[in-house]
Chains A and B, each alone.
Chain A
Amino acid sequence: MKFLLAGQPNSGKSTIFNAIAGYRSATANFPGSSVSYTLSRALIHGREVDVVDLPGMYSLTSSSPEAGEAVHFVAEEDWDLIINVLDASRLERSLELTLQLLQLGRPMVVALNMMDEAERHGMKVDVEALSEELGVPVVATIGRRGQGLKALFRVALQTAHCAAPTGTGCFDKEVATAVAKVRVLLEEAGYKSRIPMALTATKVLELDPHFRAKVLEAAPETEAAIDAIIADLQEVHGWSADQVVSGCRHAMAHTIWEKVGELGRPKVGWRERVDRLLLHPVTGGPLMVVILAGVFFLVFGVGQRLEAPLVAWFDALQAMIEGRFPLETLVGSLLSGIFMGVAGGLTIVLPYLLPFLLALAVLEDSGYLPRMAYILDNLMHRIGLHGKSVLPLILGYGCSVPAIMATRILESRRDRRITAALAAFIPCSARTIVIYGLVAAYLGPLWALGIYVLNLVVIMVIGRVLSRFLEGRSPGLILEIPNLAVPSPETLLAKTWLSLKEFLIIAWPVLVVSSLVLSLLEWAGAGGVVNQALAPLTVWTLGLPVAVGMTLIFGILRKELTLVMLVQALGTNQLDEVMTTVQLVVFTLFVVFYVPCVATVAAMARELGWKDTAWISGLTVVVALVLSLAGRLVFTVI
């Protein structure tokens, strides 16, 4: 049996999903935080059920790419029941999607979620009356606290075997007539689809490009007649057909809301007061700078405190091992390779990664990211984008792969291309580790902050240039600002663990193996050949030690590797003893900017195609070269 969790963005689908499937679907407090669906098998009241967490969709119209996947799934895949998750505090608007889902004529249960938020807004909803209006079972839930979920899935199991709902509410007379006309037209033309004819007809009237294309492909002769019906509808109402249909649905939702809902006085608590400050024209900007700087220094402070004792302990251990198995022997060389890989992960990567991921999780779950989009919209316009691009870019500080996937929330292809290119330049957590572990650790946190600022300046310049050259229109910012929320500690930990697991399971083994390979190559004397081949770049151009050549190659696998490999290649944990300040800075600059890792390249190819991926990768190398060379020149002159 298969259940779908469908609903508008940020209505809490993933939270409900995680409550029954364990933490598998990343949640966050902004619209569009799930861009692809997650499937899990769960045991519900003793029955095995596949549960699918779909990306949020505001409507069944498939115009936005983020909703595309959800709409496709609902329309084309096999499933037994839809659990429509509604945000009770935005009930009226949420019902507009519900009305469309009802038109599917398949078994459905409504989860009236976020009842606590609704209460804070002074709203009361009569659950029974709503169930009667919609003709499907409605269960009140508070997903974050797990309330009502047992009842929800019990009702879902019962409903999956019941007959499908028939009531779809009624459109006003003209729309209903137009829908009926299109329906007859399609039936006469012998049009066949898994989607109910009434829904197809409604979507065709709404000028939905996807449905229109499908209908015209199967029955091209209906085009003229359909266009005539659309023109009629426009004539009668005085505005375009899509607005007539959606306005009509809006009115239906409003009527239902009037019958079942009651609006009292909203509570004004500290969250609303804080929010006013965060969005205020005068205080909003400075507060954002303070928050981001706070995150930066917090991560550095915690990381440094964790790192120092670990490094000291591992150094002692390393000395002991080397005393027993000298590096010149094969065994010693192998042991040292494995040791460096394990130690590098534990002493350099984890101390900074852990606080960083936690801080990012707090930013995501509190709902601050959409506020940043609002504040930065103006600035983003200067580089030819708009505020929504801020979301993928900030996610890029965690990992470039989800950042590039998150570009799907942007409406235009041009914006997606530019934002994905810029996201590749954002230092992800792996590159952050290099910045913290090399520059901040040896030269001080201000130097590291300088690299971040330089990175932002470079990104703005590249953004400006790209938006000049890439054609297409940018539609402008349209973004829902969710309520501020206090992230729950369990979710934060679960989320951090989900990202950390990625590092432990995928990256760390790669790190250990690469370290082993590197030490073997060195032992056999082959590393020297590669290093020599790269010498024109590393030594002559950038003025770095010849041994860094191999580390840059490994860095393409995972960026953290460069740092750990550097330790391995130079044979010491005290890098400032073997590298000068200039070399540390130049090396970091190059690593931060040159080709993002293999995983990012693959993600980019999937989202944008190989052509774009190729030029973006090429661009990163050019920028990395120019910047590190400039860095070298500037420092040498000073």
Chain B
Amino acid sequence: MTLDTVGVLHRSRVIFIEGGQGVRSHLNTLGIHVGDCLEVVERAPFRGPVLVQVNGTRLALGRGVARRVRVEPAETFRPVAGSVITEAG
């Protein structure tokens, strides 16, 4: 599933970010990486942007951007240090 379809207050984990290097690095530097857990805080009506809480910051992501972030539900999962690397290896 993609981030734009996640309901409010659901936690999910990023599994893949689609799109070019520009969008990817932008999301990376703002705190969204593959493996990160995030929570959808609010969804604007009429297909507006979604508001997510990730790594202690709040980001507004347009629906188009959110559609590029593929996630899986993460109700119980808590990320541990270095999870990005272990998963990758």
Contacts and interface: CB of A to CB of B under 8 A. Distances in A.
A169 to B, nearest CB: 13
A281 B31 contact: no
Interface in B27-60: 27-31, 33-36, 41-49, 51, 55-60
B21 A258 contact: no
A513 interface: no
B79 to A, nearest CB: 8
A370 B60 contact: yes
Contacts of A91: 56
A374 B51 contact: yes
A477 B28 contact: no
Given A248-B84, A387-B62, A242 B46 contact: no
Interface in B54-77: 55-65
Contacts of A279: 41-42, 51
A58 B57 contact: no
Interface of A is mostly: helix
A90 B57 contact: yes
B59 A478 contact: yes
A254 B35 CA distance: 12
Nearest to A281: B45
Nearest to B35: A247
B2 to A, nearest CB: 13
Nearest to A92: B55
A378 B49 contact: yes
Q: Chain B: interface residue count, which band?
A: 35 or more
Interface in A237-258: 237-240, 242-244, 246-248, 250-251, 254-255, 258
Given A243-B34, A281-B44, A386-B62, A477 B23 contact: no
B88 A247 contact: yes
Given A244-B88, A477-B61, A387 B33 contact: no
Contact of A478 (B35, B45, B61): B61
Contact of B85 (A63, A248, A478): A248
Q: Chain A: interface residue count, which band?
A: 35 or more
Contacts of A64: 26
B81 A242 contact: no
A210 to B, nearest CB: 12
Most buried by B among A61, A281, A476: A476
Most buried by B among A282, A480, A481: A481
A445 to B, nearest CB: 31
Given A242-B24, A254-B82, A284-B44, A93 B51 contact: no
A573 B21 CA distance: 60
Contact of B25 (A63, A172, A244): A63
Nearest to B48: A378
A70 to B, nearest CB: 13
Contacts of A96: 29
B33 A247 contact: yes
A174 B55 CA distance: 25
A475 B59 contact: no
A475 B65 contact: yes
Nearest to A279: B42
Contacts of A242: 21, 24-25, 28
Given A246-B29, A386-B62, 14 more contacts: A63-B26, A92-B56, A93-B31, A172-B82, A172-B85, A236-B89, A239-B34, A242-B25, A243-B24, A247-B34, A254-B79, A255-B81, A279-B42, A479-B59
Interface of A: 58-59, 61, 63-64, 89-93, 96, 121, 123, 172, 174, 206-207, 236-240, 242-244, 246-248, 250-251, 254-255, 258, 279-282, 284, 370, 373-375, 377-378, 381, 386-387, 411, 475-481
10 contacts: A90-B57, A92-B31, A247-B84, A250-B28, A279-B42, A280-B42, A281-B42, A411-B26, A476-B61, A478-B30
